[in-house]
Chains A and B, each alone.
Chain A
């Protein structure tokens, strides 16, 4: 029996790139989930970010394109200036509607959309940042059965975003970078 696909969505803003650069190298080529990364950043930096992350991991990294179907063991980077949604058939939709929390891509949007499709087969982690994005998405995802975690604000380069999430909703775990690495590696 083949098991249903699972998804990890990592959302981050200021100070989150450093975390990814520590986390991604430890994943082996047989890591079985799909991963979506939503990072706030300036436009025009898309290919740079994708290339940079690709140099740090054994897993294939690609910018998410509309109609891409999520594949296991692939890391998808949300392009700047678009929200990323997930369709019931696991294909991706880019959406250029209004910014949410002054952000496009918005972490809330992708957490929420992913949870509606994946439910308890979804893992959401919110990293460092100076924005309120992600908190509502974590809450909704958890209601829909997803596992939710935030980076330990004590360790985060910019603690505002994970702290805001902790203040406004309940999450399953608060993870230091080391704990996050162990946790993500253990997913199957």
Chain B
């Protein structure tokens, strides 16, 4: 049999589907993390990457490491969940928030926003900047949650790589931002630390969409590019959690390729922007 000359993580070291199921069961029984309703192909791919990167000689050894080493578990959790994000990602979405959503929220005495699956917080800080620019930050609080403590710790610090700032600044401008973006952070070597004026209005906390319940009522829930990793049943369950956590006429914002179509909550919402994936809960 011929072997490739150079092979990357994508190709070597295959874990069998049954072994994935065993590992997911361990994570559930031992640690209470339930990935069984996640997209199987995505979880499998990410577990395979970890398995290959860390060069485990066998699945049994991988499994033992996960079961016996809590530090490794934390690392694995970070690797299983996708934590790719950027500030003002999809600028058109943030422009629509500026134009169509926040002016409505401005009429409330107090604004509560929930960012579910916030990862390292780039979109949360983007939201805080929007609120600041519309003079709403003083009466707003943003709850930003993720299943993963490690990313939350990063998010709390509000420190992002300076190398990304040029791209983020462009996104910011395309989202309707007219100020000097660099005024929101202080640069220090290769890092940009965002103003505490922003982070003071954000509460970062662990929340597992699979197992945890609603914890407040919001006027806006943002959950972008998290539902794509869930199977249909779990998507429906989480969408009901969102619906139950929204005030009447509250807004729900999803990722660019996510939709309420064909879900059981669809009748409870009307679209605000089909393109930018924003819906509004209709009164019953």
Contact = CB atoms under 8 A, between A and B. Distances in A.
Interface string A96-112: 11101000001011001
Given A95-B42, A140-B10, A140-B11, A170 B228 contact: no
Interface in A44-98: 65-67, 79, 81-82, 85-88, 93-98
B225 A139 contact: no
A86 B42 CA distance: 9
B228 A108 contact: no
Nearest to B257: A94
B228 A93 contact: yes
A187 B225 CA distance: 36
B42 A93 contact: yes
A90 B7 CA distance: 27
B6 A168 contact: yes
A169 interface: yes
Q: Which of B39, B41, B46 is the most central at the interface, judged by chain A CB atoms within 10 Å of its CB?
A: B41
B39 A87 contact: yes
Interface in A135-188: 135-137, 139-140, 167-170
B17 A88 contact: yes
A139 B82 contact: no
Interface of B is mostly: loop
For the side of the interface on B, what is the size category? 20 to 34
B257 A93 contact: no
Contacts of B39: 85, 87, 93, 95
Contact of A100 (B6, B10, B82, B255): B10
Interface in B121-164: none
A82 B7 CA distance: 23
Contacts, number: 82
Contacts of A86: 41
B40 interface: yes
Contact of A136 (B4, B46, B232, B262): B4
A173 to B, nearest CB: 15
Contacts of A94: 228, 257
Given A67-B232, A98-B84, A93 B10 contact: no
Given A67-B262, A85-B45, A95-B228, 16 more contacts: A66-B228, A66-B257, A67-B232, A87-B39, A93-B39, A93-B229, A95-B229, A96-B225, A97-B42, A98-B84, A100-B10, A137-B11, A139-B4, A168-B5, A169-B5, A170-B2
Interface of B: 2, 4-8, 10-11, 17, 39-42, 44-46, 82, 84, 225, 228-229, 232, 255-259, 262
Q: Which 7 A-B pairs have the closest CB atoms?
A: A85-B41, A140-B11, A169-B4, A136-B11, A93-B39, A97-B82, A139-B4
